[in-house]
Amino acid sequence: HGDVFRPPKMAGWLAVCIGTGVQLAISCCFLMLFACLGFLSPANRGALMQAMLFIFVFMGIFGGFTSARFFRMFKGNRWRSNALWTAMLFPGISFSIFFVLNILIWGQKSSGAVPFGTLFALLLMWLGISAPLTLVGAFFGYRKQPMENPTRVNQIPRQVPAQPWFVNFWVNLVVCGLLPFGAVFVEVFYVLSSIWLHQFYYLFGFLFLVLVILVELLFLVLVI
């Protein structure tokens, strides 16, 4: 077991992805909880999206905290850079794609284009609330004692023997992606159909059960 807990080559990026994933996961859980309790009505257009944005923005503190904890466990020392990447990577990619698509809609002179004031408000929420909270969470996360591995890591890495084809990285990538997708495909189909056909979606309780099944399946895939 001396090589199991060896830090990966791109440990910083892994910490960033873990922190962003935790931020997204907590945001989805809170959103589903509020929707199941009836605080978010689908009849109120835009309420669900607004709630998701606000929750994601304020959950940045948990993303930064988690990212910094793993970054320190991987023996990283530039925690500020790690926190900035955690705050900027996923929101930056999402905002860039949204901005480009919105420009194309503007070019078609469509009424569905998002106004410039709304884009500025989103940018302000990202840089004025989410990013500082991520830095605060990373500050407290990096100050805590690093997580200890259950076993010592060997000084010299061992040679990895040849693996059978079904243990190949790309095979595992496809299989581990197909199983969770198959578990939520039907419900995602109904959700997307409701969005595209401009219908209301009320089955939040069933969607919450699907989310629980997805989380359990992801844990099983990780263990396997």
DSSP string, 110-127: -TTSPPHHHHHHHHHHII
Question: From CA 60, how far away is CA 65, in angstroms rounded?
Answer: 8
Half-sphere exposure of residue 48, counting CA atoms within 13 Å on the CB side?
A: 17
Cβ atoms of residues 87 and 130 within 8 Å:
yes
pLDDT for 9 equals 84
Question: From CA 117, how far away is CA 18, in angstroms rounded?
Answer: 32
Which regions in the chain score pLDDT beneath 70? 1-2, 42, 45, 195, 198, 201-202, 223-224
Buried b or exposed e, range 93-131, using 16+ CB within 10 angstroms: eeeeeeeeebeeeeeeeeeebeeeeeeeebeebbeeebb
Helix (H, G, I), strand (E, B) or coil at 88: helix
Cβ atoms of residues 70 and 14 within 8 Å:
yes
pLDDT for 26 equals 92
How far, in whole angstroms, is CA 112 from its chain's centroid?
A: 27
pLDDT for 75 equals 84
Half-sphere exposure of residue 128, counting CA atoms within 13 Å on the CB side?
A: 7
Q: Looking at this protein, which amino acid is placed at residue 27?
A: S
Q: Looking at this protein, which amino acid is placed at residue 161?
A: P
Please give the DSSP secondary-structure letter assigned to residue 128: I
